[in-house]
């Protein structure tokens, strides 16, 4: 039995489909079962509730051979570390109670980075807590998700631009979420691995934002420029939206660490995922941009 958290999320939903295609027995933990696709709901066991809740984990983990673990992002959390640790402490204790043999977690790349990295440091604290469970653990250690750029479809359509806080000419490691789901499915259905390891998974690209803009322009067949946002302006934007001081620090430290090359050391050992940025643009970003363009009536 494989237990999957966040089965309605980007990675989790793709993972459940892959596991069912491989005829695995799957049990999902979901806050609201009506959010599952009908095709999934009828083929999995469902435990309703949040995976931060020890009682929910006690209902979900009996008989589990393997667990897929993902802490939902919460940019508004008063403290990223407390957010990740609240989930991780509940998981670690429940994994021990139910003697789950193997755990595959979603985390950030850059574990050896020595400076504070905000939300990414919180994910590393989660890994340390999960490791204390004693289960075999693979920390899928991931750089910037290509899917983060889907939120820029509107700016691409309206202004011909996308914006981040990173230097225009500094390569940014990326990965497509479908490749994360695929790697997680491989690990969860493989009973032969042991021990605890970080497993960085990067796309084949090393594109800086200016190069990302060039690939987007070619694949979307519309001009796209990169506009760098100053970190102070980004902090001000978060403040104007009501973010707390710690939430702003957690986000700014994360972006600063990414711009300072937190992912660079993992290039040496990273597994190379199949999806490159150009393919992702063609297959995922372009349809999203076309849908946005149709909605706003732009070409």
Ligand X SMILES: NC(=O)c1ccc[n+]([C@@H]2O[C@H](COP(=O)([O-])OP(=O)(O)OC[C@H]3O[C@@H](n4cnc5c(N)ncnc54)[C@H](OP(=O)(O)O)[C@@H]3O)[C@@H](O)[C@H]2O)c1
Binding residues vs ligand X (CB under 6 A): 6, 8-12, 30-32, 35, 50-52, 70-73, 106, 108, 123, 142, 144-145, 148, 177
Identify which of residues 226 and 293 has a Cβ nearer to ligand X in the complex: 226
Write down the least CB distance from residue 192 to ligand X, Å.
26
Contact (Cβ atoms closer than 8 angstroms) between residue 130 and residue 89: no
By beta carbon distance, the residue nearest ligand X is: 9
Contact (Cβ atoms closer than 8 angstroms) between residue 87 and residue 109: no
Helix, strand, coil shares of the chain as percentages rounded to 5?
50, 20, 35
Write down the least CB distance from residue 223 to ligand X, Å.
25
Contact (Cβ atoms closer than 8 angstroms) between residue 87 and residue 79: no
Write down the least CB distance from residue 15 to ligand X, Å.
9
Identify which of residues 52 and 167 has a Cβ nearer to ligand X in the complex: 52
Write down the least CB distance from residue 54 to ligand X, Å.
13
Show Cβ contacts of residue 236 under 8 Å, excluding neighbours closer than 6 positions.
none
Identify which of residues 11 and 243 has a Cβ nearer to ligand X in the complex: 11
Identify which of residues 56 and 66 has a Cβ nearer to ligand X in the complex: 56
| Full DSSP string of 150-203 | GGGHHHHHHHSEEEESS-TTS-B-EE-HHHHHHHHHHHHT-TT--SEEEEEEE-
Number of H helices, E strands in the chain: 12, 12
Alpha helix ranges (H) inside 42-103: 54-60, 80-97
What CA–CA distance (Å, rounded) separates 109 from 102? 20
Identify which of residues 172 and 248 has a Cβ nearer to ligand X in the complex: 172
Identify which of residues 118 and 135 has a Cβ nearer to ligand X in the complex: 118
235 by DSSP, 3-state: which?
helix
Write down the least CB distance from residue 221 to ligand X, Å.
26
Write down the least CB distance from residue 239 to ligand X, Å.
22
């Amino acid at each position: 039995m494989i237990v999957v958290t966040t089965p309605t999320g980007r990675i989790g939903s793709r993972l459940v489909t892959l596991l069912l295609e491989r005829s695995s027995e799957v049990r999902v933990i979901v806050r609201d079962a009506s959010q599952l696709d009908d095709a999934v709901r009828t083929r999995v066991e469902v435990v309703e509730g949040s995976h931060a809740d020890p009682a929910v984990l006690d209902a979900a983990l009996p008989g589990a051979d393997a667990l897929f673990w993902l802490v939902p992002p919460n940019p508004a959390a008063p403290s990223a570390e407390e957010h990740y640790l609240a989930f991780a402490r509940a998981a670690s204790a429940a994994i021990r109670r139910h003697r789950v043999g193997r755990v595959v977690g979603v985390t950030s790349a850059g574990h050896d980075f020595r400076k504070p990295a905000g939300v990414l440091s919180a994910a590393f604290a989660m890994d340390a807590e999960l490791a204390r469970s004693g289960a075999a653990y693979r920390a899928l250690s991931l750089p910037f998700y290509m899917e983060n750029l889907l939120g820029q479809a509107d700016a691409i359509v309206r202004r011909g631009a996308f914006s981040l806080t990173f230097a225009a000419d500094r390569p940014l490691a990326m990965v497509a979420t479908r490749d994360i789901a695929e790697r997680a499915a491989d690990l969860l259905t493989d009973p032969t691995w042991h021990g605890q390891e970080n497993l960085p998974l990067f796309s084949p690209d090393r594109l800086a934002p200016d190069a990302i803009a060039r690939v987007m322009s070619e694949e979307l067949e519309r001009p796209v420029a990169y506009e760098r946002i100053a970190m102070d302006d980004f902090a001000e934007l978060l403040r104007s939206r009501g973010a707390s001081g710690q939430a702003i620090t957690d986000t700014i430290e994360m972006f600063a660490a990414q711009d300072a090359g937190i992912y660079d050391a993992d290039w040496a050992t990273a597994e190379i995922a199949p999806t490159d940025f150009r393919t992702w643009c063609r297959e995922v970003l372009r349809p999203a941009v076309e849908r946005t363009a149709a909605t706003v009536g732009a070409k």
